[in-house]
Amino acid sequence: MWDQIVKGLRKYTYIYDEIDTDAAAERIKASIGFKGPNAWILAFAIVLASVGLNVNSTAVIIGAMLVSPLMGPIIGTGLALGTNDTDLLKSAAKNLLVMVVISLLASTIFFALSPLSLVNPTELEARTSPTIYDVLIALFGGLAGILENSRKERGTVLSGVAIATALMPPLCTAGYGLAHFDMHFFFGALYLFVINSVFIALATYLMVKYLRFRTVTGISAEVSVKRNRIMSIVLAIVIIPSLWTAFRLVAQNNFERNVHDFVEDNRLVGRSYLYDYEIEGRSVNFAFTGEALTDSLKADFYARAAEYDLKQKNIGITEYRLGISQSDMDAILTDVYSKAQEEREKNQASLDILKARLDSLSLRLETLEALQQPADSLTVNSDILEDI
């Protein structure tokens, strides 16, 4: 039974009948040279990638990935290591270095002269923080690339590999960093390019060994051990920072998910409403509206946050008093009533004064009317005359 399973798997996974390693080696060697069409294609790819990054266009950036000839020298380096071809290794390394320098210079000049400055350059920022996942993409993309190169009948795999293992966009992003003196962009993007280059070359080396490409010269056991040691050191230097970046990425993702879940489950705190939050790194600021949060409510809020792995030192609270409490409302009403009572008493006093003056004027008017009557019918009261 087990033998039948193994035979069945071998039937579907056996590849040597469809592989032509000699033809593959010749194709890879032909793609290494930086002259003729490759020089022009590199220039076009630089412009495409720089423009795509500058206008934040994913489609243009993908076009630059497909056009770029940078993959040739990188795969050539892996082939040279796998076949012990020293001359090929020197040629591939030299051409790769020339391509990298030209790409950096050209993209730096482009971004220095470009008048466009995006507020949110997501395509540029996406290439400044490589992680272990980029290592996996480069490794398995490189394996697919060399296997596709080795097939007798090639398909469209190389196009997918070129898109997955981006080479030109990180270089142009590094040029952006140089043009704007932003070392975060420069070193982050250059590190991504190094990851892609090293692990594509490693994938090529492993597949060349697995497919048993014809070696150019034999090497001694001592030289083989020394070379493997150097390769291990280089791989460790490249991969360790990516592991740390990946750890931080996972931790940040978990923190943001915990904040989201906590907010969804704790919108109401007392008579206040948590309506928004802002995350900055590993800290979060919650925005409340409604009644003021008492110390006991805040303590309960922090305790509930701890259940979601959110520490009090990483939590900020901002309160926007769009409403008032009942006690505040009672105080305001009492103050308004007191002021209204004082005003009413003042108004009543003014009314009493006005009424007294009106009575006095009415009395004087009656007296004047009495004086204007005929003498024969007028009886004058001495007291009234004295008042006048």
pLDDT in tens, 224-237: 788 788 888 888 88
Instruction: Give me the chain's average pLDDT, please.
Output: 82
As a whole number of angstroms, the distance between CA 367 and CA 384 comes to 8
> Looking at 19-33, 154-168, 170-184, which range is the least confident one?
154-168
Q: Note whether 259 and 279 are within 8 A (CB).
A: yes
pLDDT score of 234: 85
Could you tell me the two tokens for 52?
């795509």
Distances (CA, A) of 332 to 115, 117, 335, 337, 339: 57, 52, 5, 9, 11
> What CATH number belongs to 18-218?
1.20.1080
Bridge partners, residue 279, by sequence:
284
As a whole number of angstroms, the distance between CA 26 and CA 95 comes to 17
As a whole number of angstroms, the distance between CA 259 and CA 311 comes to 11
270: left (phi over 0), alpha (psi -120 to 50) or beta: left
**pLDDT interval class at 104 (50, 70, 90):** very high
pLDDT score of 388: 45
Residue spans of alpha helices (H) in 182-271 = 183-210, 221-265
As a whole number of angstroms, the distance between CA 67 and CA 49 comes to 10
As a whole number of angstroms, the distance between CA 208 and CA 147 comes to 9
pLDDT at 387 over 60: no
pLDDT at 21 over 60: yes
Q: Note whether 321 and 273 are within 8 A (CB).
A: no
Bridge partners, residue 319, by sequence:
288
pLDDT in tens, 125-163: 888 888 888 888 888 988 888 888 888 777 667 777 777
